[in-house]
Structure 1
Amino acid sequence: MWSEEKRIRGIFTGMSAGYIALGLVLMLWPQGAMNVICGVLGAAAVVLGVYKLFRYFTAQGVEVLFVNMSAGVVLLLVGLVLLIRPELLLGLLPILLGLLVVIDGTARVHTALELRRVGYGAWGLELAFSALSVLLGIMLIANPMFSLNLATAFIGAVLCVDGVINLWDIFYVSRQIRNLRR
């Protein structure tokens, strides 16, 4: 059976590989990837919206919740907008992904400071990588529309860099922490 540490490391490895894969797809096929993402998100929102409305109109007793109708209508409308006018999401995507990268980098600042506290010599490298992630995320947030294809390719590059940094964290830093425990 896997220990909790191995399970968490596996989750973060998979997440990092996903960042890198998504980043490569966005870099290599920016416009097509964005259209597919909008189509998939739009279709999923429509299906979920129809399901919520169905649940509202067929439920009885305690199951009749106004939230099902409200959520159903909102999801249905959002899904239709994504399918009909995907460019609306395309303007928000760099901002949302930028926030994700800033949050991820900020969390790694904490890791760097903890490594410093326990006496790990190369904690500064971890801090530099964290700062790079935060800076790249801020760049996405500050200027999200500097050409959609270029922005999409840039988002892909940022995700690849962040994924590689996460993999470095997972393998190298966790090995150093194990060595410090001994």
Structure 2
Amino acid sequence: MESLKKAVRNYWVLSAFCIVMGGALIYRPGFFTRMVGIVVGGLMALYGAASLVKYFVGHKADPERASGLVSGVIFMAAGIFVMVRPDFIPKVISLVFGCYMLVSGVVNVQEALYVKGRGEPNWLRAFLPALLTALLGISLLVNPLLIVNGAMTILGICLLVAGIMNLTGRISISRSVFRRKKEDNKGGSAEFIDID
């Protein structure tokens, strides 16, 4: 029974956490990116520090000692950089996707115009999606965090809705159980009186 009560309490806490995290992501889409950057950067820096400690404490005859120094410095530097600039990784990812979308969009626009030149009536079906793809690619190159912030906002909305739905569902179930217990108690006392 105690474990069930603990699970219910954890459920309430998890739902409240979803609501708070969802609201934070909607209000500040870059919040999650910064948190992930700090966590990932911190882990990288810790790994680098551990490698450096192993290098300075380890035996001089160890053949892996030199690689520990190099990897330690690289991981520490990269970890500190990611913690200071957590938006760097999503920017790189967005730039890569932006380049891909721009190039594929331009190529498909050229193909659609070639089809139009041959007198095909349905060339617009190929031209419009290609143009949209190229424009999205340009948008990502101009504003690399556009896709990240958009994705974080959608994630925030999903978390907020899930948290609210969980809480309202739990409240409804709790009320139903409380009402059932109340009715059972009334029925039990009436039965006890009838027996008397």
The two structures have a TM-score, normalised by structure 1, of 0.45
Larger gyration radius, structure 1 or structure 2: 2
